[in-house]
Structure 1
Amino acid sequence: MLATALLVLSQTAMPSQTLVVTGENPAVELANCIERKCPAEQEIELSLRVSVEDFADGRYRNARATRQRSIRRNEDQVSRLPRQVSSLHATLATAAEHKGDTGLWLESFRKNVTILREYIGEIHPETLAQKLALADNLLKQHQFGSADSHCESVQFDAIQSGLLQLATAALFRRAWLSFMQNKDTEARQLAIEQSPWSTVIVRQSKWRQYSP
């Protein structure tokens, strides 16, 4: 019963980014863009488009190489385009995961979080959401201690910033991690702790619904 409840609680939605693409041949567009030394914003977007197509078609090696080359080309743009560069690292992590390259997978995701922390802010919602995603990746590698540490950090920062949904998401994960380690008493306590937060979230959502 506890396992089922915690599994449901752990599946809390997190903010996501959607890339809308246009054009018929992004690989050619990217090559032309690089040749004419187009703006970094355009080159990164095209690199992501090409790698997304490669990834969707199962060409994981190509998708990984495209992202790595774009990262090298735009290392000096991170302070100006932190979100775009961090996205390259995050998507590189996804490609590395599908190729079974655990080292590159976790390294890329940590780099993604590091960039957001340094240039977007330690307690910015985007940063905290990506820290939770990193915790999920660590969980897949059975690095329970590191995963819980990240979740606890997100929980604390989110509470201090009034980001109740992120705080609850972190708490859900901590409860699930405790259960995974056969710490049933701790898991139950964490699951109980989330109830007041859920109540507050519901109340705030209703207030926002009727606010001008």
Structure 2
Amino acid sequence: MLLASAAAAQEAPESAGGEVVVTAVRLEQTEQRLAACIARHCPPAEDVAASLSHVENQFVAGAYRDARRTIAEAIRRNRGFAKTNPVDVAVLYRADARIHAHLGDGDGMKAAMRGMLASLRAGLSETDPQTLYGRIELADGLSELGNIRGAEREYKAIAEDAAAAGQPTIRNFALLRTASLKVSLAQLSERFRPEARAALRQLKTSSASDATGFQLATEVLESRLAMAEGAADAVDALIARVQAEPASTPRLLYSEPVKLGAGKWDDPPLQSYEDQWIDVAFWIGPDGRTRDAALLRQSEHYSGGWNKRVLESLASRRYVPLALPPGDPGLLRVERYTITSRLATKLGSRIPQPTGLPRVEVLDLTMDAPPPGMNPQRAS
């Protein structure tokens, strides 16, 4: 999960049939541990760990606003330690940004991402890998918020700075994010296809781009672009190429987005975006296909209907085939889907209100989800 160093919930199959049992440290326990830590004025690293553990528990329980308050208090207690504990403080801001995203607060998300980067810069040099990766995360945030050209400029600047600092891997991450952004735009409009092809050529000719991870990520992007150009079998061709090297952990190759309505009165017909989330459990089979996706639990005020869009998206996923023993049913995953809407201030009011355009935020709640760090978590 992206909020803290360990997931608050652990999902384990009770049987091959797919029944799921969720276990977790009780919310009262993490609250007590955090209170005890604060009472004894524990060191920043301990405070951050206890805060994130409780925030995760609150988030998994669906108490997003409580989690927001807890993380805000943790930031107030620890932001003064950015020079000595830059990564610890940055991770607090990073969690804050994710919570803001699930609440639909784009401005709050952007401010938190800037706080994350400022914390890194307070204790680390501009050429430190953590700072450079933090800049990539901020550029990712700009892209998510719709500032496409701002994100593109920042990726370009990071690639140049990383090259000057002798960091070819970080340069490639920046080039990869640029290519991913361009391919996403090309899937929306053919006028971006030349830019996407140019970005992929730059990535493929970059030094160290022959590393296995970058090769696969580049091939995935090429397949997405080929599909946008009409090659319906591009993903199957990619699967055929990677079958000889099965993966031990989930590596997503392709997925259709969760297709939500374009307006407030379309599917899903939500009049309120407060407390709208579901947890979905699914299996990834040895062949890389998903199966047995099912609603695990839902928020108290869940407005039914949109979960079918999530299940349709999950059914379209294709992963790298898994290296598993014969007869193994695959890997069980649990993901949180939140339906929200970006907040905006309307004419005549200073109070931000949902725009009415639904969007989906996703977090992996599985115990073995990649731990957070300043380095990018997404491969494409």
Same fold (TM over 0.5): yes
Contact 1:155-1:170 at 8 Å conserved across structures = yes
> Cα distance 1:199–1:105, how it changes in 2: closer, same or farther (>3 A)?
closer
Q: 1:199 to 1:70 in 2, by over 3 A?
A: closer
1:127 matches 2:131 = yes
Distance 1:199 1:75, change over 3 A: closer
> How many residues are matched?
189
Match of 1:195 in 2: 204
| Structure 1 contact 135–147 (Cα < 8 Å) conserved | yes
Structure 1 residue 49: deviation in Å? 0.8
Please, which moves more after superposition, 173-182 or 90-99?
A: 173-182
1:70 aligns with 2:74: yes
For residues 172 and 145 of structure 2, the distance between their equivalents in structure 1, rounded to whole angstroms, comes to: 23
Residue equivalent to 2:142: 138
Q: Are the aligned partners of 1:48 and 1:88 in contact in 2 as well (CA < 8 Å)? A: yes
Higher relative contact order (CA 8 A, sep 6+): 2
Provide the rounded CA distance (Å) in 2 between the counterparts of 1:21 and 1:146.
32
The amino acid that maps onto 1:136 is D
User: Which has more strand, going by share of residues?
Assistant: 2
State the partner residue of 1:12. Answer: none
DSSP 3-state at the match of 1:79: coil
User: Is the 8 Å Cα contact of residues 165 and 201 (structure 1) preserved in structure 2?
Assistant: no
Task: Compute the displacement of 1:151 (Å).
Answer: 0.4
Please name the residue that 1:32 is paired with.
36
- Residue 171 of structure 2 is matched in structure 1 by 167
Q: Which amino acid aligns with 1:47?
A: S
Q: Distance in 2 between matches of 1:102 and 1:202?
A: 35
CA distance in 2, matches of 1:118, 1:36: 26
Q: Is the 8 A contact 1:89 1:108 kept in 2?
A: yes
> In the superposition, relative to structure 1, how do residues 108 and 174 fare at CA in structure 2: closer, same or farther (>3 Å)?
same
Q: Deviations over 1:136-184 (max 9, x none)?
A: 2111111011101110111111212232222122112223434527333
Equivalent-residue separation in structure 1 for 2:43 and 2:173 (angstroms): 37
Q: Answer yes or no: is the 8 Å Cα contact 1:123–1:158 preserved in 2.
A: yes
- Given candidates 193, 207, 225, the residue that maps to 1:184 is 193
Q: Distance in 2 between matches of 1:78 and 1:132?
A: 19
Match of 2:5 in 1: 19
**Residues 3 and 56, structure 2, Cα contact 8 Å, conserved in 1:** no
Residue 66 of structure 1: how far off its partner (Å): 0.7
Aligned to 1:49: 53
In structure 2, runs of 5+ residues without a counterpart are 9-24, 213-380
For the residue of structure 1 that corresponds to 2:206, the secondary structure is helix
> Is structure 2 residue 153 aligned with structure 1 residue 149?
yes
Question: 1:70-109, aligned counterparts within 5 Å?
Answer: 70-109=74-113
CA distance in 2, matches of 1:37, 1:176: 44
In 2: Cα distance, 1:183 partner to 1:60 partner: 37
Amino acid at match of 2:121: R
Q: TM-score, normalised by structure 2?
A: 0.45
Of Structure 1 and Structure 2, the greater helix share is in 1
Q: Which sits farther off after the overlay, 142-151 or 156-165?
A: 156-165
SS in 2 for 1:146: helix
Moved more, 73-82 or 94-103: 73-82
Greater CA deviation, 88-97 or 69-78?
Answer: 69-78
Q: Given the two structures, how large is their TM-score scaled by the length of structure 1?
A: 0.78
Cα distance in structure 2, aligned partners of 1:40 and 1:153: 32
Contact 2:37 2:47 (8 Å CA) reproduced? yes
Moved over 4 A (4+): 20-24, 198-201
In angstroms, what is the RMSD of aligned CA positions? 2.6
**Rg comparison, structure with higher value:** 2
Taking the aligned partners of 2:3 and 2:65, their CA distance within structure 1 comes to 23
User: d(CA) in 2 for partners of 1:103 and 1:137?
Assistant: 11
Give the deviation of 1:36 after TM superposition.
2.6
